[in-house]
Structure 1
Amino acid sequence: MTDIHPGQRVAVLADAQNLYHSAQSLYSRNIDYSSLLDKSVADRNLTRAIAYVVRADSPDEETFFDALVDIGFETKIRDIKTFGDGSKKADWDVGMSLDAVTLANHVDTVVLCTGDGDFSRLCSHLRHEGVRVEVIAFKESTADELVEAADNFINMSDRQDTFLL
């Protein structure tokens, strides 16, 4: 595996729901997506930045989606699904994974901004394909198997002033 170097092509995939809920439950704060993108790219060549978001009809969400675009993220938006029993579901695991696998041939590094352990198998696959995988998330809400599966892990809790508004 290669280390970070300036010529690397990087894709940043941000699981906005996972990050939002972690930041809220741990610190009652929001994510600074501008800093997140900046630190993810780390003076390398950004190929693509995608934020996976869920529309839940909250008042400020369109403003948030627009802000992500202004920062440099492409947004992929999914509506929240409510089931007959009242439960709700809206996750992007499959979509993020498919995008990561598709981008693997075009980048040197994939940065996953999520603590979701479901992505540990994706990390193993990408690394097997020769892609460096970095994970940026809050250690307290990140699955151990995800940390272990990545080439590098950045704990957002260690740098709250950087990653939180």
Structure 2
Amino acid sequence: MTPIGRNGAVDDDEPVEAVLTFHEQADGRKVARLPGGKVVLLDLHQMHRVADGERWSVRLRHKETFAIAEPLDLAREALIPNPVLRSDIAERLSSLVAARPARPVEGTPPAPGPPAEAPEPKPAVVAPAPPAPPPAPQPVPAPKPPAAVSPREVIRAADRVALFVDGANMDGACRAAAYFVDYRKAREFFLAAGQFYAGFYYIADFTASDPLQQRYLDFLSHAGYIVRRRPVKVIRDQDTGERIIKGNLDTEIVLDMLNTVGNYDVAYLFSGDSDFERAVDLLRSRGKRIYVVTARSQLSRELAYVADKPIFFIEEYADTIGRDDRAPGPAR
């Protein structure tokens, strides 16, 4: 469906109606994005109608930094029209088919003719016995995948440990791994035998009155995390009129990692973003060990080059740090 704006014209920035695919986040919200990048939140009272990963035709109510979607109809593949022949072409094809001579139906016996003379019998030829088949090759067992590395192999008892969680980046990583991380379990697992200094969780705040997000942030606070929220800002280009929505917390993450550098020996960075390359490189030059936690598909090459090894891929720890109550839909 082409996005229709408020004045009836095509509008990709603030359409009144659109067809969007909704994905569930770690905080329980189901969200989508418009072509211009604006975040769309599903109406709280309609969330039971829309499953994770479904594509819906929706009506939109726009706010400054986000939009609220009211689901109308589930979009299906059948919405793509099937090709139909024009009536004149169909009549022409019908006449051509009718004019062709009928062919006998396969399997119908032919009409009887004069009896054929019986051929003289020939002496039977005995075929030689076929050679014995070679023995079937024995199947080669597949190599076993390497065992996942445990944090206990890299964390010492005297290590002071900090966790820095990029919430938006980890939402994508959890979708790729097909489960949501339970950050209470993750804290205990990655701490191993070390001493817990602090955990930081960073999230862009689209609306301050979302009860689902607030409940999730309350859980993180009770799990021992310091929650950093940053309101989303809207900036309009004075020359082009383009609206830019900014909610990136990379700067806050780097500032906390540098300002608290004297309080930890080991830091886990829950992100695969290449923007952290220089910060990780600087912290390691000061003697800190920085381990990355992310999904394989989310890890940037730049961050992989500078981080301490091993890199902890969350696909390998679903049974240990996964949430028990729900999981995201398949990645798309």
Q: Secondary structure at the match of 2:181?
A: coil
1:164 to partner: Cα distance: 3.0
Relative to structure 1, is the Cα distance of residues 89 and 164 closer, same or farther in structure 2, using a 3 angstrom cutoff? Answer: farther
User: 1:60-87, CA deviations, whole angstroms, 9 ceiling, x for partnerless residues?
Assistant: 1000110100111010111122334344
Relative to structure 1, is the Cα distance of residues 129 and 91 closer, same or farther in structure 2, using a 3 angstrom cutoff? Answer: same
Consecutive unaligned residues of structure 1, counting only runs of 5 or more, are: none
User: 1:103-123, CA deviations, whole angstroms, 9 ceiling, x for partnerless residues?
Assistant: 112211111111111111111
Residue matched to 1:162: 320
Q: How does 1:144-155 map to 2 (within 5 A)?
A: 144-152=301-309, 153-155=311-313
Asked if 1 retains the 8 angstrom alpha-carbon contact of 2:177 and 2:315, the reply is no
* Residue of structure 2 aligned with 1:46, choices 177, 183, 196: 196
Asked if 2 retains the 8 angstrom alpha-carbon contact of 1:32 and 1:162, the reply is no
Asked if 1 retains the 8 angstrom alpha-carbon contact of 2:155 and 2:191, the reply is no
Consecutive unaligned residues of structure 2, counting only runs of 5 or more, are: 1-153, 237-241, 324-332
Relative to structure 1, is the Cα distance of residues 27 and 157 closer, same or farther in structure 2, using a 3 angstrom cutoff? Answer: closer
Identity %: 23
1:40 to partner: Cα distance: 2.5
* Residue of structure 2 aligned with 1:8, choices 127, 141, 159: 159
Asked if 1 retains the 8 angstrom alpha-carbon contact of 2:167 and 2:202, the reply is yes
Asked if 2 retains the 8 angstrom alpha-carbon contact of 1:11 and 1:103, the reply is no
Asked if 1 retains the 8 angstrom alpha-carbon contact of 2:183 and 2:321, the reply is yes
User: 1:86-140, CA deviations, whole angstroms, 9 ceiling, x for partnerless residues?
Assistant: 4422111111111111111221111111111111111110010011111111121
Name which of structure 1's ranges 37-46 and 116-125 shifts more when overlaid on structure 2.
Answer: 37-46
Higher relative helix content: 1
Question: Which structure is higher in RCO with an 8 Å CA cutoff and minimum separation 6?
Answer: 1
* Residue of structure 2 aligned with 1:36, choices 182, 186, 189: 186
Q: How does 1:83-162 map to 2 (within 5 A)?
A: 83-84=235-236, 85-152=242-309, 153-162=311-320
Report the aligned-residue RMSD.
1.7
Asked if 1 retains the 8 angstrom alpha-carbon contact of 2:155 and 2:193, the reply is no
Which one has the largest radius of gyration? 2
The amino acid that maps onto 1:160 is A
* Residue of structure 2 aligned with 1:71, choices 223, 231, 240: 223
1:33 to partner: Cα distance: 1.1
1:23 to partner: Cα distance: 1.5
Number of equivalences: 162
State the alpha-carbon separation in 1 of the partners of residues 284 and 251 from structure 2. 18
1:157 to partner: Cα distance: 1.4
The amino acid that maps onto 1:95 is E
TM-score normalised to structure 1 length: 0.89
Q: Secondary structure at the match of 1:50?
A: strand
Residue matched to 2:144: none
State the alpha-carbon separation in 2 of the partners of residues 119 and 89 from structure 1. 18
Q: Secondary structure at the match of 1:161?
A: helix
User: 1:44-67, CA deviations, whole angstroms, 9 ceiling, x for partnerless residues?
Assistant: 111111111121224410001101
Name which of structure 1's ranges 57-66 and 72-81 shifts more when overlaid on structure 2.
Answer: 57-66
